[in-house]
Structure 1
Amino acid sequence: MSFGDEYEGGSGRGRGGRGGAGRTRTRTRLPEHEAADEYGDGFGGPGRRPPRTSRSLVTVVGVVVLLIAAIAFANRSGDGDTDGGGTAKAPRDGAAPTAATGTKPVTGKNGTIPAGFAQDDQGAQSAAANYAVALGSAGMFQRETRQAIVRSVHDPAVAEGLLVDLDKAYSPAFLKNVGLNEDGSTPPGLTFVSRTMPVGTQLTEMNGGTATVEVWCTGLVGMAGEASTKPVTQTWFTITQKLRWVGGDWKIQSSSQREGPTPVNGDNRASTADEIAEAVAGYGGFTYAR
């Protein structure tokens, strides 16, 4: 989930700017305590719900025109971004598609989190995406599972200091504010939802044993159930993770989060609380693979 304050852990010194060379600090997002109806997530979980955009007749007509144009373009043959055999060429903007790369997926696990990523750009991006999923999960709201997750994905040099800060952030008051019991458990008859789904990744820097990866995500957060006063909402955000190669795998040194990019809301009917609860119980989350 998303946190309202940026925090630096690792050394347990509280907030501040980025550490200089040689320091073992980590940055993450801590919970907002100011409003009862706002959610955040320490590592890329959902933040504020974007306002719904009103839709006019002009907008609807514009969408229909674009759809017709797209269908017409798709039905054209012999031109466009295809080769002679009709095979799509690689994107011209240099973005790497999420597709089979010929490299086998990781088979190792650290608890329930994938481990053993390759020391290359693909491995760094896969690690960052998987770590975003884990750190945006409902498990972060209970102390025992939070400790296991944080230790699994972070550089040991910063993990313990970060846990101290997170224990303070996930206070009984904060947990109650998001609709949970003070110990992080879910009240009877309700289903707590916190899921982060990567949409894409981008490697922005790589230098031997360090890498910086941005993960564009969408997330769900809220409480499903008839008695819920905090319905499940969707948010969009981008997480920036600074990774370091430690003990034969990528680990997080620091992370930060910003809002968006956020698409325009569609016209889908909002499901009932019971439908959301049934979906969460019936559909397991994914392990990201690239």
Structure 2
Amino acid sequence: MARYVGVPKGYPSGVVYQLRQSFEGGDLRQSLLMEPSNKGFDRREIVVLVHGFNNHYGEAAVAYEGFRKRQYSLNSSLQPASLQSILADVHWPGDAAWGLFDIADFLVYPYAVGTAKKAGAILAKFLMQMPNLEIVHFIGHSLGCRVVLETIRKLGARPQVGKLCLMAAAVPVFQVEYGGRLASAIARAKHVLVLHSSSDLVLKAAFPPGQFAAGRGEGFFPVALGRDKPPPTVAGMLSEKEVKGAKHSDYWGHQLTKQSQDAAAYTAEFIGFDINFRSIGKRNSAKAMKFCASRNVSESRTLG
């Protein structure tokens, strides 16, 4: 018996970047399918949302719709459905279809790391083919942050990478430190916000052995970027914020917990959604820096 039982009513309400062949588990598509196919290909600027490990299509849809609803509640200037003009939901197969044995899905994590790398390359190819796309921003969660960084790593000169929000990032710290495999990717973003929590038992206990099991280049029981305050050796224009008490799923804003609401609010202020969406990256750079200072976020820094 599968876990997937459907999606929230009305979903998708915007553009989906489909990398799945099945709603639950299954293989990665070899090329990205945009749904609906006649909407969103001409965009100049987009914010790409990427879910994490062990989310089937329905669970990711719940998180994405919850994120939208929370953003509307946080910003009275947003008109109903206005976010659909800029958001794009990525669905990728970082889960298994083991039904009643879902408790053992963590066993596929090492394989999912490889899938995340491949998904990033496919997403990057699609973004570079969008004829009018100039700026892309990313919001990723958990292993979805790895998909995001792998995407950026594969991008050419266009599109530019604007803001990058990494929530509970299941990415080894050493890979984003200066000289690491993904250092150039995180450094390419105009501004990065790392949301982290020392209360995240998934990143504290399950991530190190799972990442080690993923094989060569993934480190020996490495520390996850989303677990603690990032060290000053992490590359890029970086800011960070601890979401105190947050568990691994408390980030998109669809949960009723205070931590979920806090994380969504930090993301909202960092990204800077408003009614016009006139170049998020350029328009809100000063606002983002002010937010970082007022929220006691560490000073942004550029290394290397």
TM-score, normalised to structure 2, is 0.24
Bigger RCO of structures 1 and 2 (CA < 8 A, at least 6 apart): 1
Q: Which structure has greater helix proportion?
A: 2
Q: Which structure has greater strand proportion?
A: 1
TM-score, normalised to structure 1, is 0.24
Q: From the CA coordinates, give the structure whose radius of gyration is larger.
A: 1
